[in-house]
Homo-oligomer: A and B are copies of this chain.
Amino acid sequence: MSELKQMDYSNLQSLHRKAKEDFNAIKQENLSLDMSRGKPSAEQLELSLGLLNTVNAENIGDNFSVLNYGLVDGIPEAKALFKEILEVNTEEILIGGNASLNLMHDIISKALIKGVLDSETPWGKQDKIKFICPVPGYDRHFKICEQYDIEMISVDMLEDGPDMDKVEELVRDDASIKGIWCVPKYSNPDGITCSDEVVERLAKMETKAQDFKIFWDNAYVIHDLTNNPPSLKNILEECKKHGNPNRVFMFASTSKITFPGSGVAVVAASKENIDFIKSQLSVQTIGPDKVNQLRHVRFFKNYDSILEHMKKHAEIMKPKFDAVLNILDFKLGSYGIATWTEPEGGYFISLNTLDGCAAEVVSLAAEAGVKLTGAGAAFPYGKDPRDRNIRIAPSFPSLAEVEKAIEVLSTCIILVSVNKLL
């Protein structure tokens, strides 16, 4: 294999012919594969089925209070368990419903109407507010901003997290920048983990807005694929150290530990922030589903067993990630038409085609029966300025399906790239 850009016309033509034949053959197979979302597979869901049995009519015992109203911040046992995951104290955590996205959304919607702890004016009463969006990033974060007319400023993800030179410059001068999204460990979709330096700089940087907040979506906090995972500095402790204790909201959930639809979500922050959230939350609801919290507590018992449980997830996920990487390497090798990340955890592999090819590749793959995340999804307003990023989500399909899908993807990438160069 040599770089496509170096190939002469006739070699390109024969490669194109071959890829076209492959593509047509694939189409005959009438595939229907879905790699569009980071959904756990059935095999992964099976790992937690026992959770459904942990609370029943016979063993509910004297836990009747969990069935009734109350405890808007969650049951104490759940706080004790989940505070370990985010490395915070009991008074720094609140246990919510089944979706951390919901917690993030609600904090923002209330910030718009009422402001956050340090706001002089509600965000929504200001002319314009903005969020920094490291790109590529998580589409659902960006959708919240889009829904609420929060202007998004893209900042590139570098190898150790968001481009902090850029971030610092932006927040220092612009009071309308109220927040930054961050998936600090195994970022969606790049799989990047923030370095200690990035965490420190986020915690201590000077912000023009006194009510600037970091939305620290630690969705993959213990979702390692290796035995020697990268460490992530505790940003709440860093924020405290630098005199900005109320700067960060940390989120996590068991959506990809137990069940995506019926897990438990948590938010962690300074006690002052948690008290503030709790006071607002008590107007919104009488309390979360405490029975489901109890199920989780009884299923896991302690933090170590959660970590053991995550190893079983890794055993299922790792071969799929390996398959993606091996096939991409084998099929696209040194053609120089795509680069991709090799994450040590999380749910995604991020692939960049040549500029201007991603949308066409995704569309062609769909034609061949492989559904990928929409091109551009990882960028604000769904627009990838270089039209090159494709998010690969290998968790849901079976290993054989993943292999097939990546072969299809590779063929589509060759086809579109050669077309472009011819």
- A-to-B contact residues, CB < 8 Å: 37, 39-40, 42, 45, 49-50, 52-53, 55-58, 60, 64, 66-71, 97-99, 101-102, 105-106, 109-110, 112-114, 124, 140, 143-144, 147-148, 255, 259-262, 280, 283-292
| Structural contact, B113 and A69, CB atoms closer than 8 A | no
Q: Which of B67, B71, B102, B290 is A45 in contact with, Cβ under 8 Å? A: B67
Pick the residue among B53, B70, B140, B143 that contacts A261 (CB under 8 A).
B70
Say whether, besides A262-B67, A284-B102, A50 and B57 are in contact (CB < 8 Å). Answer: yes
Q: Give the nearest-CB partner of A51 in chain B.
A: B57
CB-CB under 8 A for A284 and B56, given A39-B69, A68-B259, A290-B262:
no
Chain B residue at minimal CB-CB distance from A143: B283
**Assembly CA distance A405 to B216 (angstroms):** 49
CA distance A109 to B102 in the complex (A): 14
Alpha-carbon gap, A396 to B199, bound state (A)? 49
Give bound CA distance, A99 to B287, whole Å.
8
**When the two chains form their complex, are residues A57 and B66 in contact, meaning their CB atoms are under 8 A apart?**
no
A98 / chain B contacts, CB cutoff of 8 Å = 97, 288-289
Residues on B with C-beta less than 8 A from A55 are: 52
Flag if B109 contacts A68 (CB, 8 Å): no
CA distance A70 to B99 in the complex (A): 12
Q: In the bound complex, how far is the Cα of B161 from the Cα of A241, in angstroms?
A: 58
Tell me the complex Cα distance, A55–B252, Å. Answer: 26
B283 x A261 contact (CB < 8 A): no
A99 surroundings in chain B (CB, below 8 A) = 285-287
Partner of A291, one of B110, B124, B261, B284: B261
Would B45 and A52 count as touching, CB distance under 8 A?
no
Q: CB distance B67 to A147 under 8 Å? A: no
Q: How far is the CB of A112 from chain B (nearest CB, A)?
A: 5
Complex copy number for this chain: 2
Residues of B within 8 A of A52 (CB): 55-57, 60, 291
| A37 and B69 contacting across the interface, CB-CB below 8 Å | yes
Chain B residues, Cβ within 8 Å of A286: 99, 101, 140, 260-261
Q: With the chains together, A284 CA to B37 CA distance in Å?
A: 17
A229 to chain B, nearest CB (A): 25
- Chain B residues with CB below 8 A from A106, complex form: 284
**A-B contacts besides A52-B291, A66-B261, A124-B124, 7 pairs, CB < 8 Å:** A39-B68, A40-B68, A68-B260, A71-B261, A101-B284, A113-B124, A289-B289
A69 nearest CB neighbor, chain B only: B260
Cβ-defined contact, B69 with A284, below 8 A: no
Q: Check A280/B147 contact, CB under 8 A, given A52-B57, A52-B60, A97-B97.
A: yes
Q: A52-B56, A287-B99 are in contact. Are A259 and B67 (CB under 8 A)?
A: yes
- 11 A-B contacts (beta carbon < 8 Å): A49-B57, A52-B56, A53-B57, A69-B255, A70-B261, A98-B289, A113-B113, A113-B124, A140-B283, A144-B283, A262-B289
Are B280's CB and A261's CB within 8 A? no
Question: Which of B45, B58, B261 is in CB contact (< 8 Å) with A287?
Answer: B261
CA distance A55 to B49 in the complex (A): 10
Whether A260 pairs with B67 at a CB distance below 8 angstroms is: yes
Contact A68 B291, CB 8 Å, known A101-B286, A109-B113, A283-B147: no
Whole-angstrom CA separation of A280 from B105 in the bound complex: 11
Chain B residue contacts of A143, Cβ below 8 A = 283
Q: How far is the CA of A286 from the CA of B45 in the complex (A)?
A: 17
Inter-chain contact B291/A289, CB cutoff 8 Å: no
**CA A67 – CA B290 in complex, angstroms?**
18
A150 CB to closest chain B CB (Å) equals 10
A-B pairs with lowest CB-CB distance, top 4: A49-B57, A262-B291, A67-B259, A105-B284
For residue A292, which residues in chain B have a CB less than 8 angstroms away from its CB?
262, 289, 292
What CA separation (Å) do A127 and B261 show in the bound complex? 40
Asked, given contacts A101-B285, A283-B105, A292-B262, whether A45 binds B57 with beta carbons under 8 Å apart, the answer is no
